[in-house]
């Protein structure tokens, strides 16, 4: 009985063991993606200068993976002490919130860098993206603080509901950022006279990974929604949704960066054997008005 309460089920149809399997499968998929792409990572990421986008890659790949592993251990502790007084459980709730927002910001950072490079000829578009990303990051930090403040007040290992205002602020920040990416992309296509049916996106040079990123964003959004809706009475479903939220964002962010690195490497002069060692994923500086065409 205690196990059922701890893990929860959906209408009594899904067993606790099945929910646990779904949760661990997310971690397995994330680890498998690392193994499969380790060769590309060594070739395209480990070489060259240590840049901002490589920091984003290693954070999205290894920090989130380590955070996911720690979360699985903490989740086990939480389930064993369900509805018991504990000073550790509030820290677990706070930890989950911080890791989730970190994963989201890493994915948004990749989209920002791609949108920034995609609009490299428009100083106004680059400046808009930079300002919006900075503002939305601040807004999302405020939302996270509100969530942490509410979760820190819990005293027992019982399902806790996040701050509604904090979640709303996080959603607003993410929505405004996505709108900015969409707006600058549409503006560039319109400026180039492209018909709507032929609009390109910042991921158009890597269509397969672009579709993966779109799918991962959709799955992660659904997972986060399921996580919040089931947090109070179906803690097992909640943990499984959270696990897939982390896995999807980590995989999508790192895949996009790897493909960006491959595209950059493909543009290197083949006659220079040392070019690849010194190469990095190119980003046009923000203050580059000489290329502004708007």
Quote the pLDDT of residue 205: 45
Q: How far apart are CA 245 and CA 216, in angstroms?
A: 9
User: What is the per-residue pLDDT for 152?
Assistant: 85
**Per-residue pLDDT at 7:** 39
pLDDT per residue rounded down to tens, the chain (294 residues) = 333 333 343 444 456 677 788 889 999 999 999 999 999 999 888 887 888 889 999 999 999 999 999 999 888 777 776 666 677 888 888 999 999 999 999 998 988 888 887 776 777 878 888 999 999 999 999 999 998 998 888 777 776 777 788 888 888 888 888 888 877 777 766 666 555 444 444 444 444 444 555 555 655 665 565 555 545 556 677 788 889 889 989 998 998 888 888 877 766 555 554 445 444 555 443 344 444 444
CA distance 244 to 215: 13
Characterise 135 by phi-psi region: left (phi > 0), alpha (psi -120 to 50), beta (else): alpha
Spatial CA neighbour of 284 closest among 124, 117, 49: 117
Q: Which residues lie closer than 8 Å to 268 by C-beta, 6 or more apart?
A: 275, 276, 279
Please state the domain extents for the chain: 27-268
Question: Check: CATH 2.40.50 for 27-268?
Answer: no
Residue 151 is predicted with a pLDDT of 85
């Amino acid at each position: 009985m205690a196990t059922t309460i701890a893990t929860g089920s959906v209408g009594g149809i899904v067993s606790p063991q099945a929910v646990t399997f779904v949760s661990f499968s997310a971690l397995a998929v994330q680890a498998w993606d690392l193994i499969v792409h380790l060769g590309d990572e060594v070739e395209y990421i480990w070489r060259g200068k240590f840049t901002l986008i490589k920091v984003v890659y290693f954070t999205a790949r290894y920090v989130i993976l380590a955070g996911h592993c720690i979360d699985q251990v903490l989740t086990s502790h939480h389930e064993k002490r369900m509805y018991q007084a504990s000073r550790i459980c509030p820290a677990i709730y706070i930890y989950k919130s911080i890791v989730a927002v970190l994963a989201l910001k890493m994915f948004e950072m990749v989209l920002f860098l791609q949108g920034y490079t995609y609009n490299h000829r428009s100083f106004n578009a680059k400046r808009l993206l930079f300002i919006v990303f900075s503002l939305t990051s601040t807004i999302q930090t405020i939302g996270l603080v509100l969530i942490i403040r509410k979760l820190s007040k819990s005293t027992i290992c019982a399902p806790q509901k996040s701050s509604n205002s904090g979640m709303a602020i996080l959603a607003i920040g993410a929505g405004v950022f996505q709108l900015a990416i969409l707006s600058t992309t549409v503006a560039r296509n319109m400026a180039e006279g492209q018909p709507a049916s032929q609009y390109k996106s910042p991921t158009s040079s890597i269509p397969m990974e672009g579709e993966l990123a779109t799918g991962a964003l959709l799955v992660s959004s659904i997972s986060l929604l399921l996580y919040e809706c089931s947090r109070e009475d179906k803690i097992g479903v909640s943990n499984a949704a959270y696990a897939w939220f982390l896995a999807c964002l980590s995989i999508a962010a790192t895949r996009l960066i790897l493909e960006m690195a491959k595209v950059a490497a493909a543009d290197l002069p083949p006659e220079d054997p040392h070019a690849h060692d010194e190469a990095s994923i190119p980003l046009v500086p923000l203050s580059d008005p000489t290329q502004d065409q708007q």
